[in-house]
Amino acid sequence: MENTILNTKFFIPDTRLKLVYRDRLINKLNQGIHRKLSLISAPAGFGKTTLVTEWLDKFLLNAEMDTQIKCCIAWLSLDENDNDPVRFLNYFIGALNKAEGIAETIGQKAMSILQSPQLPPAETILTLLINDIITIPDQIVFVLDDYHLIEAQSIHDALNFLLENLPSQMHMVIATRQDPPLPLGRLRARDQLTELRAADLRFTPDEAADFLKKVMGLDLSEEEVASLETRTEGWIAGLQLAAISMQGQDKSNFIQSFTGSHRFVLDYLVEEVLEQQPENVQEFLLRTSILNRLSSPLCDAVLDLPLSSGQETLEFLERANLFIVALDNERRWYRFHHLFAELLRQRLEQQKPDLVAKLHTRASVWYEKHGLEFEAFQHAASVNDVERAERLIAGDGIPRHLRGAVTTVLTWLQSLPRSTLNARPALWWRYATFLMFNGQTTGVDEKLQAAENALQGVELDDKTRNLIGQIAGTRAMLALTRYQVEDLLVQSRRALEYLDPKNLSSRASATLTLGFACFLQGDRTAARQAYLETIKLCQDCGNTFTAIMAANGLGNVLEIETHLHQAVETYQHALQLFGDQPLHTHAGQASLGLARISYEWNDLDAAEQYGEQSLEQVRQYDEVIDRFIFSEIFLARLKLAQGGVDDAAALLAQTERSARQRNFIHRLPEIAEMQVLILIRQGQVGAAAKLARQYELPLSQARVALAQGNAFAALSTLESYRQKMEAKGWADELLKVMILQSVALQAQGEKDKAMQVLGEALAMAESEGFIRIFVDEGSPMAQLLSEAALQGIMPSYVNKLLDAFDAEGQKKDVTSSKQLVDPLSNREIEILELIASGLKNKEIAEQLVISINTVLYHVKNIYRKLGVNKRTLAVAKAKEINLI
Amino acid sequence: MNEHIHYIIKIKDQLDSHWKDWFDDFAITKTDDGNTILNGVIVDQAALHSVLKKIRDLGLTIISVNSQEKGE
């Protein structure tokens, strides 16, 4: 049922069989086809829509016959509810897809982004759409009918953007009752605008004569025609009604009375025409005037007569060209000509005021029965049937994500007196939630407080308990937006305490916010439990969105608890939940998680794929969201591992700039952490030290100390950090600390201790297959692992890690052999790395268990191949060509 | 700032007084030159635009819109 109404917005109205030839107007429109816009701006009743449809009919015919240009026509009839930019764009794209000759793939990318809860700027979406439109080979004409109903500035802006970047094969037509707030002056100046206004659209005396005589078949004298034309001033609707009136009565009498009266033309004529209709038709028209759209079953419901005559009457009215317009080919839906709806409604209210409420209620009931809760709500609200309206907004039928629907509900709520709201505390709560759906947080506290006040002294039964729970749940949501962790925890718990156990959806939300609260407080175990619980609840109540957020959260917790395999499963599940919306913003978190884990497992190709996918996904977030930073930091880390130090540095510099520009100061420490790594790799230890100090990053400070040769300081920092992490039970940080500790201990010469710590780290890391956390430490770690191999510690794991090191070395070999005429052997590289870590020849000999002469021999060859004569130069050159 | 302002809107052609309710309690007066005056107090700009919209949607022609501070 819903689809039928939606499709009617794309329906191109039928052209009337008999028409007045308006060639002068048609020609103007034809000539304007190469311009961007044809604007038809005139009050109601000037035949705008008729003109456009007639023109399109003729234009299409001519185009095909004369010039063989194929022309696609897209039509969108606007209504008051289209003031929501998302809905508008959805319908805009829908109209394009509906047009014959335009592929269904046009606008698909834009359409899928429109599903995101947080939207990128309209320009981004429109650019995607425009790029699709450009690929259409044929001429396109897009008609926006009744544009005066659009009041949202965001839509005017979007349309403006579209016009500025309009593909050359596209032509826009806007029919409206008032000039749209678009830069018409500019368009005129650039000869991009064709305008038809009331003065153009009025019937000229000749056209009036044509109409009255030929189309309406009236036999009138020139004088009579002239006086009618004068009285109506060529207003088409007026002439039409006059003609219809005259068909049923004495013409000269009519003309005399009509032209002699000062009464508002429309009022006069509608009354005339109405009075000529049979009684049942008059009743029909008056009663159904409350409806925005008419269908026979709906009309029958509203009329509530013993015999259903809706269909007959509608067809009669259409044939007689009286007041109504068909909205589809099947003749299922109609609407009133705008002018007449107002007038009929006014007559109804004047003549039968007591009936109005009954009619609206019948309409509301019918709409509800047919699953159209929003329309049902509108009718209930217009007669202030609070009980009915409240019930309807409580259901799932009203689309929360559609701003148009939300603001309609809010308008109604705002109109209610406090006493009404106080009598229904749940309505206060609804008010608060709808404000939040509308993106507002101001005023929400007051409404929630009002709800609680209204509940004072009320008996605590299941319903009121549930309401208290709902209120707490909303308070939790508020706390989340304000980063008030304490409150978030308290309210989430309160919600769960009071919510009805059967209210799965709300319980899922509250459990999710509880999970967030625990996580933010550092209680990973509790967070994990909460997320798991949320997912289960969502499975039972089908709340996919909450499930996805919980899956993201869970994946993250598992990941940092070093349960990599489980994390992967969870992230993949989250991605699956997105189904046919792979570009969805929240998918970015899951993708990034998979990127990080792929990286850790040394699958750098997969890591790159997921990493870039995550960036594309999170870029669709609103500008105030800083998620993209995590993806960019990751991609920089990846670049580093792939050997592109300078590239990584450049990427990260850009990220830092964006972060500062947009004031995302909370992310600067994370960026700095990566920057420290890069700076150390680049040999800029001083700069790295500065950053590490500035942001107080323990691991970074330890690394810097190591790079400065100060293993002692490094160990002291690491020890205190380790204690903290052990106390918190943070496995991921512990692992990192232990690995750095073993490297530092080795640098200090404490081999045994180093081996011990390494052994602990390996034991922790083995089952989840950590690789890069070791490999990224470079040759010092390689040495440690070789020693571990010798000692027979966890042989299969250690060998796997050593193989990874070899692969790294080979990668570097590949790149370096491209650069050196005489490439270094593996052994030579090995020795070079030991030289780089500060070992003297004697120490190298001991390390590798070879004679010092052999070492000297290798060193000589190294110098030769690198074209240097000193150790320091050899190391520098080797680093320069990414050899070590 | 007390926004309650008295508005006088002149419309072409004549409206019967039963239109009063439709126009939110504006007084309706027919003039001698065959036009109509809508006379009423409007709370704020939004309300004014709402009335103008109703006029527009009926296809009426506005001749003039004037305001008068209440109490003048």
The pair phi, psi for residue A334, each rounded to 5°, is: -135, 170
Query: Exposed, middle or buried: residue A459 (CB in 10 Å: 0-12, 13-18, 19+)?
Result: exposed
For the question of an ipTM over 0.85, the answer is: no
Q: How far is A445 from chain B (nearest CA, A)?
A: 27
pLDDT at position A246: 87
Out of B35, B36, B57, the one facing A342 most closely (by C-beta) is: B57
DSSP A215: I
Cα distance from A3 to chain B (closest Cα, Å)? Answer: 28
CATH of the domain at A684: 1.25.40.10
Residue numbers in B near A235 (CB within 8 A)? 59
Mention every residue, 6+ apart, whose C-beta is less than 8 A from residue A618: A585, A588, A589, A592, A625, A627, A628, A630, A631
Whether A573 contacts A558, CB under 8 Å: no
**CATH code, A77:** 3.40.50.300
pLDDT digits (tens, 9 = 90+) for A571-614: 998 888 776 555 566 788 899 999 999 999 999 999 998 998 88
At what angle are helices A310-319 and A279-288 packed, to 10 degrees?
Answer: 100
Contacts of A696 (CB under 8 A, 6+ apart): none
Pairing of strands B5-11, B36-42: antiparallel
Residue A364 lies in a domain: no
pLDDT band at A816 (very low <50, low <70, confident <90, very high): very low
Look up the domain containing A97 and give its range: 2-201
Q: How far is A407 from chain B (nearest CA, A)?
A: 16
Closest-CA distance of chain B to residue A350, Å: 7
* Reported confidence tier of residue A116, pLDDT bands at 50, 70, 90: low
Question: How far is CA A41 from each of CA A46, A177, B59, B63, rounded to the nearest angstrom?
Answer: 9, 5, 13, 19
Cα-Cα end-to-end distance for chain A:
69
Residue A1 is predicted with a pLDDT of: 34
Comparing alpha-carbon positions, the chain B residue that sits nearest to A353 is B21
| Backbone torsions φ then ψ of A219, nearest 5 degrees | -95, 100
If you write DSSP's letter for every residue of A564-614 in order, what string do you get? HHHHHHHHHHHHHHTTT-TT-TTHHHHHHHHHHHHHHTT-HHHHHHHHHHH
Any domain includes A831: yes
Cβ–Cβ under 8 Å, residues A702 and A714: yes
- Yes or no, beta carbons of A264 and B13 under 8 Å apart: yes
Size of interface A-B (CB pairs under 8 A): 47
Picking from B18, B19, B57, the nearest residue to A338 by CB comes out as B57
Q: Which string of DSSP letters, residue by residue, matches A437-492?
A: HTT--TTHHHHHHHHHHHHTT----HHHHHHHHHHHHHHHHHHHHTT-HHHHHHHH
A104 vs B9, which has greater pLDDT?
A: B9
Chain B interface, best mutation among A48, A264, A339, A343, by max B CB count within 10 A: A264
Verify that A625 and A695 share a domain, yes or no: yes
Are A191 and A171 in the same domain?
A: yes
Distances (CA, A) of A443 to A145, A405, A452, A453, A509: 37, 19, 15, 15, 22
Q: Is the pLDDT of residue A652 over 50?
A: yes
Domain end position, chosen among A177, A201, A225:
A201
Q: Which of B58, B62, B63 should be substituted to probe chain A, the one whose Cβ sees the most A Cβ atoms within 10 Å?
A: B58
Is B6 an interface residue toward A (CB < 8 Å)? Answer: no
Same domain, A709 and A616: yes
Percent of chain A with pLDDT strictly greater than 70: 94
Considering only the beta carbons, identify the residue of A44, A349, A350 that sits closest to B59: A44
For the whole prediction, is pTM greater than 0.90? no
Residues A781 and A836 in one domain: no
Bigger pLDDT: A480 vs A678? A678
Residue A222 and residue A210 in one domain: yes
Rounded-to-5 percentages of helix, strand, coil across chain B: 20, 40, 40
Q: Do B59 and A350 touch (CB under 8 A)?
A: no
**pLDDT confidence band for A718 (50 / 70 / 90):** very high
Residue at a domain's end among A173, A201, A229: A201
Q: Which of A811, A805, A816 is nearest to A777 (CA)?
A: A805
**Least CA distance to A350: which residue of chain B?**
B18
Instruction: Flag whether A445 is in a domain.
Output: no
Set of chain A residues whose Cβ sits within 8 Å of the Cβ of B38: none
CB B49, CB A378: distance < 8 Å: no
If asked whether residues A222 and A126 sit together in one domain, one would say no
CATH number at residue A857: 1.10.10.10
Cβ–Cβ gap B36/A178 under 8 Å = no
Domain count, chain A: 4
Determine contact: B13 vs chain A, CB below 8 A.
yes
CA distance A106 to chain B (A): 36
Pair A197, A209 in one domain: no
Contact A264 B21 (CB under 8 A): no
Three-state secondary-structure class, residue A44? coil
Mean pLDDT, to the nearest integer, of B58-64? 88
| Whether A723 and A855 share a structural domain | no
Residue A869 lies in a domain: yes
Whether residue B59 and residue A237 make contact (CB cut-off 8 A), yes or no, is yes
pLDDT of A711 > 70? The answer is yes
Give me A295's structure tokens.
């269908």
- Using one digit for the tens of pLDDT, what is the confidence trace for A676-707? 999 998 888 999 999 999 998 999 999 999 98
Average pLDDT, chain A: 88
One domain, residues A220 and A113: no
Closest CB from B11, B18, B56 relative to A43: B56
Interface test with A, best of B9, B11, B12, B13 (most A CBs within 10 A): B13
Say whether both A161 and A217 belong to one domain: no
Q: How far apart are CA A55 and CA A27, in angstroms?
A: 9
Strand, coil or helix: what is A8? helix
